[in-house]
C-alpha cells in the first residue's frame, strides 16, 4: 500500500532562517512530497510511451523505470535525500533519478512540462482518494442502516424548530441521514468522472511537437478520457473545486449529525448514551462525559468550508494558462482529504457503539400534543376543510394548555364542544396509530420503513461494486 502522506517537515529539511526564507517561500516540496507515488507512476507511463513511439530507446526506458522504482523504495523507507532547493516533488525525483542512472534521466522530461505533470499527479491523487472517501461513507451508511433495522418499532418525537412536532420511528429518522450521505456518495462519484481525464501531453500550455501516444499513457494510468484543450488542461482546477464543494456538502451533513448526537446525549434529551471510547472527562468536574469526538466532527466542517473558499478565491482572477498561484491548490486539498476520511470513520464507530435510550424516547413521544395534527387530519376525514380543522385544533390545544391538560385528558364531550364532527365515543389517537397512518412512500409507517431498509441495502450493494 502506498504511504498516504509524508511528514510536512522532512527529516533532512534545513531549519528556516532569514537567509533561506525566500527559497522556502516558493518551495512546495514540504507538502507536495506526498504526491511521490502518483508522480512516479506518471513518469513510468510517460517513459514507456516515449519508448513505444521511439522517442527514446527501450533500453533507456527500462533504466528510467528501474531508477524510478528505486526512488519509490527510498521514499517509502524514508531515506530519500529531499532538497528544498529543488522546490518540488518533480525536480527532487528528476535530480535523484540522474544521480542513480545518469544521462538517460535527462530524456524523461521529453514532451512534457511540470505544468501538465502536476495536473496529472493531482488527478491521479484524487482518483485514489475519492474511492476511499466513498468507502468510508458506505461504512457510515451501514452504521445508520443497522440502527434503523434494530429500531423500526422505536418511536420518538420528530422535531421542527427543535420543538416536538409529530411521532416518528427512530428508523425513519436515521434513514434520513442515510439519504443525505447517499447523495454525497453520488456527488463524489460524479466528481470522479470529471477528474478521470488525462492532461499529460499538453506541455506547458500549447501542446508538444512530438508524436506522443496519449492514448497509451491514458491506458497505462487508467484514465477514461484525454483532455481536449492543452490550455485548459494545464490551468484547470475545476475538479479540485468540485471535490471541495462535494466535501463541503458532505461536511454539512456530518455537522448536522454530530450536532444531534451532542444534543441527544445531553441530560436534557437523554436519548443516547455514547460509548466511553467517544467521550472525554473534565480536568475539574469528575462527573463530566463530554462528547468531544462529535464536537470535533462538527467543528472540522469549518476547515473544509474554508478550503472550498480558498480554491475558488485562487481561481477566480487567474488569466490563462498556468500561474504559480496554482501551487496553493494542494494544501487545502490534502487537508480536506485528511479531515473528512477520519471524521467519517469516527462517526461510524460512534454510531455502532452508542446505546439508544428507548425508554426516554417513549416517555417523550407520549406527549399527546404531538397528536394535534392527527386531530386535524381526523376532522378532514369527516369532511371539514383542512384550514377549518386546523383552526379547531388550535382552540382545543389552547384549551388543554390553559387547563393544564393533555389531549388525552380531554373527554369526548369537551371535544364535541369544539366540533360536532367528533363522535360521542371519540377515543383519540396514540403515537402508534399516528405513525401507522402515514403509510405512503417516504412516510414513517412501519411497512414503508421496511421497504426503505430493503432499498437502502440494495443501493449499498450497488455502490460497493463501483
Catalytic positions, please?
Answer: 161, 282
Tell how strand 355-356 and strand 272-273 pair up. antiparallel
**Cα distance between residue 178 and residue 172, in whole Å:** 10
For residue 321, cis peptide bond before it (omega within 30 degrees of 0)? yes
What is the C-alpha to C-alpha distance for residues 325 and 216, in angstroms, rounded to an integer?
Answer: 31
Rounded CA-CA distance 429/466 in Å is: 46
Up-side HSE of residue 381: CA atoms within 13 Å toward CB? 9
* Nearest Cα residue to 223 out of 309, 314, 123, 156: 123
Total residues belonging to the chain:
466
In the block, cell 463501483 appears at 466
Cα–chain-centroid distance for residue 176?
16
Q: Secondary structure of the chain: what % helix, strand, coil (to 5)?
A: 65, 5, 30
The pair phi, psi for residue 433, each rounded to 5°, is -65, -40
Give dist(CA 376, CA 44) in Å, integer: 71
Q: DSSP for 330-398, please give it.
A: HHHHHHHHHHHHHHHHHHHHHHHH-EE-HHHHHHHHT-GGGGHHHHHHHHHHTT--HHHHHHHHHHHHH
Question: Strands 197-198 and 163-169, how do they pair?
Answer: unpaired
Residue with cell 384549551: 399
Q: For residue 367, count other CB atoms closer than 10 A to its CB.
A: 15
CA pair distance 48, 63, nearest whole angstrom: 11
H or E element that contains 405: none
Termini Cα distance of the chain: 20
Cα gap 461→466, rounded to integer Å = 9
CA 373 to CA 434: how far, in whole Å? 9
Amino acid at each position: 500500500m502506498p504511504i498516504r502522506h509524508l511528514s510536512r517537515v522532512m527529516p533532512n529539511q534545513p531549519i528556516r532562517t532569514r537567509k533561506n526564507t525566500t527559497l522556502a517561500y516558493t518551495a512546495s516540496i514540504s507538502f507536495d512530497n506526498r504526491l511521490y507515488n502518483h508522480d512516479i507512476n506518471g513518469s513510468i507511463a510517460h517513459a514507456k510511451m516515449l519508448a513505444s513511439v521511439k522517442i527514446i530507446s527501450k533500453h533507456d526506458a527500462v533504466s528510467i523505470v528501474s531508477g524510478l522504482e528505486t526512488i519509490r523504495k527510498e521514499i517509502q523507507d524514508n531515506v530519500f535525500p529531499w532538497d528544498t532547493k529543488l522546490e518540488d516533488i518533480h525536480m527532487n525525483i528528476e535530480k535523484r533519478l540522474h544521480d542513480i542512472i545518469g544521462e538517460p534521466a535527462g530524456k524523461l522530461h521529453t514532451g512534457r512540462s511540470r505544468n501538465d505533470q502536476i495536473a496529472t499527479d493531482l488527478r491521479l491523487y484524487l482518483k485514489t482518494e475519492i474511492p476511499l472517501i466513498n468507502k468510508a461513507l458506505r461504512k457510515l451508511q451501514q452504521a445508520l442502516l443497522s440502527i434503523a433495522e434494530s429500531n423500526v418499532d422505536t418511536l420518538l418525537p420528530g422535531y421542527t424548530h427543535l420543538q416536538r412536532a409529530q411521532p416518528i420511528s427512530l428508523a425513519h429518522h436515521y434513514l434520513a441521514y442515510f439519504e443525505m450521505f447517499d447523495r454525497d456518495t453520488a456527488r463524489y462519484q460524479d466528481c470522479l468522472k470529471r477528474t478521470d481525464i488525462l492532461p499529460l501531453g499538453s506541455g506547458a500550455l500549447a501542446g508538444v511537437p512530438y508524436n506522443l501516444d496519449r492514448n497509451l499513457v491514458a491506458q497505462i494510468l487508467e484514465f477514461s478520457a484525454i483532455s481536449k484543450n492543452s490550455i485548459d488542461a494545464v490551468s484547470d482546477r475545476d475538479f479540485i473545486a468540485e471535490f471541495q464543494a462535494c466535501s463541503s456538502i458532505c461536511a454539512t451533513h456530518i455537522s448536522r449529525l454530530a450536532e444531534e448526537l451532542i444534543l441527544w446525549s445531553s441530560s436534557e434529551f437523554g436519548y443516547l448514551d455514547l460509548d466511553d471510547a467517544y467521550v472525554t472527562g473534565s480536568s475539574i468536574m469528575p462527573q463530566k462525559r463530554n462528547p468531544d469526538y462529535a464536537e470535533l466532527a462538527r467543528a472540522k466542517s469549518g476547515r473544509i468550508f474554508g478550503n472550498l473558499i480558498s480554491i475558488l478565491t485562487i481561481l477566480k482572477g487567474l488569466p490563462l494558462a498556468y500561474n504559480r498561484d496554482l501551487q496553493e491548490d494542494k494544501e487545502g486539498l490534502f487537508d480536506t482529504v485528511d479531515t473528512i476520511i477520519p471524521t467519517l470513520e469516527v462517526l461510524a464507530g460512534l454510531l455502532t457503539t452508542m446505546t439508544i435510550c428507548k425508554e426516554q424516547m417513549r416517555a417523550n413521544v407520549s406527549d399527546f400534543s404531538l397528536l394535534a395534527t392527527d386531530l386535524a387530519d381526523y376532522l378532514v376525514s369527516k369532511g371539514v376543510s383542512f384550514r377549518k380543522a386546523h383552526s379547531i385544533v388550535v382552540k382545543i390545544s389552547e384549551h388543554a394548555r390553559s387547563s393544564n391538560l393533555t389531549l388525552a385528558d380531554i373527554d369526548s364531550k369537551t371535544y364535541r364542544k369544539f366540533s360536532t364532527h367528533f363522535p360521542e365515543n371519540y377515543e383519540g389517537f396514540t403515537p402508534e396509530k399516528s405513525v401507522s397512518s402515514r403509510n405512503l412512500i417516504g412516510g414513517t409507517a412501519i411497512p414503508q420503513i421496511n421497504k426503505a431498509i430493503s432499498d437502502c441495502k440494495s443501493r449499498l450493494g450497488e455502490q460497493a461494486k463501483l
